[in-house]
Amino acid sequence: MDHFQYRSGEMVAEAVPLTRIADDIGTPFYCYSAATLERHYQVFTDAMTGLDACVCYAVKANSNIAVIATLARLGAGADVVSAGEMRRALVAGVPASNILFSGVGKTADELAQALKAGVLQINVESAPELETLSGVAESLGLEAKVAIRVNPDVDALTHEKIATGKSENKFGVDWGEVPGVYARAADLPGIRITGVAVHIGSQILDLEPYRQAYGKVVDLVGRLRAEGHAIEHLDLGGGLGIPYEEEQPPSPEEYGAMVREVVGDLDCKVFFEPGRLIAGNAGILVTRVVRVKEGTSRSFVIVDAAMNDLVRPTLYNAHHAIVPVLEAPDGVQHAEAEVVGPICETGDTFGKPRMLPKTAEGDLLAIRTAGAYGAVMASAYNTRPLIPEVLVSGEEYAVIRDRITVDDMLSRESLPGWLEDG
C-alpha cells in the first residue's frame, strides 16, 4: 500500500496534488510519502513480535536525512555501509548505539570514525579487515564490537547484480573459513565478538533461500558457542522483495513467522536491515513530457527525466509502472509507447513499450516505486542537474534536497594555471 492515489481525477501524494508541487518547483522531482514510510516500518516491526528485535533501516536504499529522520522518530536504527551514510544517520537522529556498520571495503579511516562514534556493531567481511580493525581499535584505545558476516553460499534467486550470498560473490567470509576467522578474532586485541551477520541479497521473492541461510547460521551459532564464543547478536540482513509489476513477494508477517520458527530459540537479539521494503513504494518520480515523437515502428514519449535520475531500468532491466498524473477518463483508448529520456544513450528508457492513454507535450507522468535506489544512484551524466527531493506529510510538503544546478556543478571545477591564459 502507498499514499499516491487519484483524487477527483488527479494524483495526490497523501493530500498534496502533484500538479501543485510541479508548478512550484518544476520537474523532474522525487516525491516521498511520510505516511507510507511510517506504515511500512510499522508493519515490518509488528511482524517481528515475539523476537528481541531491532529494525535497522538500510540507509543505502534512500539516504535523504529527512527520510532517515522520519524512521528514527519511530525508533528505527540504521544499517550503513560508509562513513558518509553513518554521518547521515547521526545527523538524522539515529543514536550511534543503534547503527550497524556493514560493507566489504571499509577503510581504516572509516573504521576509526565508526569506533569513535560508538556504533552498535561492525560487521566484518574478511580476515584482513579484522586485522585492520584490531590495529585501529588498539591505536585508539577502544574496543570494537564485531560480528563476522558469513557467506552461506545460498542462491537468493534474485537478479545477479543484487545477489550477495553465493560463494562467487564478494561479500562475507567463505563458509569454510568462518570458524578460523572467529578463532583469530578471539585472540586479537581491541576486538570483542558479539554476533554473526548474514545477508544473501535484495529483492528476494521466496522465503526458501532465507530458510536455508538462516538454518545454516543456527548450526554455526551452536558450533561457535561450543568453541567458547559469546554470540549475543544475530544480524539477518534485509532484502525482502516488493511488487514492481506482478511479483507476489512474501509478506512481512510470513517472513517474521519463518524467522521465529528458524532462529527463535537461539536467545539472541536479532537485527534486520530492510531498505527497499520500507522506501520503495514510498516514492515516485514525477516527470513532464517534452514531446511525443512518432517513429516508424513505435511512438516515443520523451520526458524531462532520464537514466541519470533513475538508473534501475537501464542497470537491472527493472520495471516501474508509469501512469499519468491526471487520470485518464473511463473508456479512453490506450496505445503502446516507449517512455524515454533525453540522454544520448539508447538505454535511456523507462519502459518499452507501455500501454498509455494519449499523451501530449506538457503532460505529467508519475514513475512509481521509485523511493528506493532512485535518487541515491543518480548522477550528473550529460551535465544534467541532480533533481529535487520532496517529502509530503498530510497536506504539507517540503523540499528536502534542492535541485543541484549547472552553476553548482561548474563552481566545483577549475582550470589549471597553464590553461587560464589560453
Supply the residues annotated as catalytic: 344
The residues facing 77 across adjacent strands are 56
Instruction: Pull the grid cell for residue 133.
Output: 580493525
State the Cα–Cα distance between residues 346 and 324, nearest whole angstrom.
Answer: 23
The residues facing 62 across adjacent strands are none
**Could you tell me which residues come within 8 angstroms of residue 398 by beta carbon, excluding any fewer than 6 positions away?**
66, 390, 391
State the Cα–Cα distance between residues 349 and 383, nearest whole angstrom.
Answer: 18
Q: Distances in Å between the alpha carbon of 248 and those of 147, 157, 175?
A: 32, 14, 31
Nearest to 132 by CA among 169, 104, 174: 104
Are 59 and 88 spatial neighbours (Cβ–Cβ below 8 Å)? yes
State the Cα–Cα distance between residues 333 and 335, nearest whole angstrom.
Answer: 7
Are 197 and 102 spatial neighbours (Cβ–Cβ below 8 Å)? yes
Q: Distances in Å between the alpha carbon of 133 and those of 106, 111, 122, 193, 199?
A: 9, 7, 9, 12, 21
Instruction: Pull the grid cell for residue 5.
Output: 492515489
Chain-centroid distance of CA 210 in Å reads: 19
State the Cα–Cα distance between residues 151 and 280, nearest whole angstrom.
Answer: 26
State the Cα–Cα distance between residues 111 and 146, nearest whole angstrom.
Answer: 12
Are 72 and 55 spatial neighbours (Cβ–Cβ below 8 Å)? no
